[in-house]
Amino acid sequence: MLPTLSHKFLVQMAHLHQLTPEQEQVFLLKFAEHKRYQEIARELGISKEACLKRMGAIYEKFGIEGDTRQITGFYARGTTN
């Protein structure tokens, strides 16, 4: 079973990396609630592509590139979807 990061810690990380409110929503739904991108998009009333674009910006702000993105996607839910 994968370890869970606390909601409080994730909010602190979002603020530390200066995520926009929209990016923070996606970040928390992905990593605190372990939702898939399609679920996040549906919940926020945005397209999956918009959700992925926000995640791309989040990864950039965290300095995460390439293969590491796949690892963090796997960690978030055991999959990259």
The overall pTM is greater than 0.85 = no
Domain boundaries, the chain: 20-77
CATH architecture of 20-77: Orthogonal Bundle (1.10)
DSSP class of 17: T
Q: Which tops the pLDDT comparison, 6 or 22?
A: 22
Q: How far apart are CA 1 and CA 44, in angstroms?
A: 28
User: How confident is the model at residue 29, as a pLDDT?
Assistant: 96
User: How confident is the model at residue 80, as a pLDDT?
Assistant: 43
Token pair 């926020």 is found at 44
Q: Tens digits of per-residue pLDDT, 71-81? A: 555 445 444 44
Q: How far apart are CA 47 and CA 16, in angstroms?
A: 27
Chain centre distance of CA 51: 9
Q: Tens digits of per-residue pLDDT, 33-66? A: 999 999 999 999 999 999 999 999 999 999 888 6
